[in-house]
Amino acid sequence: MVQQNAFYAQSGGVTAVINASAAGVIETARQHADKIGTVYAGRHGIVGALTEELIDTSQESAAAIARLKHTPGGAFGSARYKLKSLEDSRAEYERLIEVFQAHNIGYFFYNGGGDSADTCLKVAQVSAQLGFPVAAVHIPKTVDNDLPITDCSPGFGSAAKYVATSIREAACDVASMARTSTRIFILEVMGRHTGWIAAACGLAAEQEGTAPHILLFPEIPFAEESFLTRVEAVIQRHGHCVIGAAEGLRYADGSFLSAAGWRDTFGHTQLGGVAPHIAQRLHAALRLPYHWAVVDCLQRAARHLASQIDVQPAIPARP
């Protein structure tokens, strides 16, 4: 087998362990130096390939690469950038393969979620069409744990621990104030279509009947009347009610409870916050004091900001 180089890129929102995946790719490639030469990392994800900003990881020591396993953030920079079909974005694909050819890159490792997996498939198909076949490998990464044929996505474990800890701490606060103050607390967590993170809130319950008292999943249609009845019953029994809710809650007709009315660059409907929506409905019905919190509020704000700005990079020609 002829030795070729590899390209690694990080995509989308970074997780607590995305750099550990990077270390795994680089260290494994070094163990097979007869097949894989230099591993280049894209500066800011796939954009680094389009702009030919490649980081030569061979310049880093084994100890430096090992430290990636405990490094937060995205060590090489990530990006939310969607490659469309060959018909719609032929110039981008041609540019991508041009850069891969120039650096003898025959392996493409893309570290991200479902959209990144789709990009891997397109790159593999298009590179073959353009006469420079590239082995494209998807490295799973998503806190939502919703990738097909992936039992547990790297990133979910740390998110599960975080939400379970957060809702337990909040529950302790609410229990201590319930007699004269907050009676209802709602924690909104990630999960557009799957309720894994909402289910992880349940890890906080020390025994049956302890907080969180109610978990709401996107897979189960939201029925307001029965929900209000459940909340009232919990308050009568415990004096307060702690709720974990996935952001993707839908009514029986399939509509989101909190659609914000706009879509991101990947075409996903953006959600405006299910926690305040539920809190308002509870207050209107029960007239009880409440608090709510959103785990991914900063990520949502960043997505909204990105949607208001043209962040698509130019595609420079190679000299």
Residues with catalytic roles: 144
Burial zone of 179 (CB within 10 Å; 0-12 exposed, 13-18 middle, 19+ buried): exposed
Are 225 and 165 in contact, with CB atoms under 8 Å apart? no
Closest CA to 293 of 256, 244, 241: 244
Distances (CA, A) of 93 to 85, 115, 118, 312: 9, 16, 14, 15
Calpha distance 217→193 (Å, rounded): 9
Q: d(Cα 45, Cα 111) in Å, to the nearest integer?
A: 9
Q: Say which residues have a Cβ less than 8 Å from residue 236's Cβ, sequence separation at least 6.
A: none
Q: Quote the CA–CA distance of 58 and 34 in Å, as a whole number.
A: 15
CA distance 216 to 206: 19
* CA gap 234, 212 in Å, rounded: 11
d(CA 184, CA 214): 11
Taking CA atoms, 176 is separated from 68, 170, 173, 187, in Å, by 41, 10, 5, 17
Query: Cis ω on the peptide bond leading into residue 133 (within 30° of 0)?
Result: no
Residues composing the chain: 319
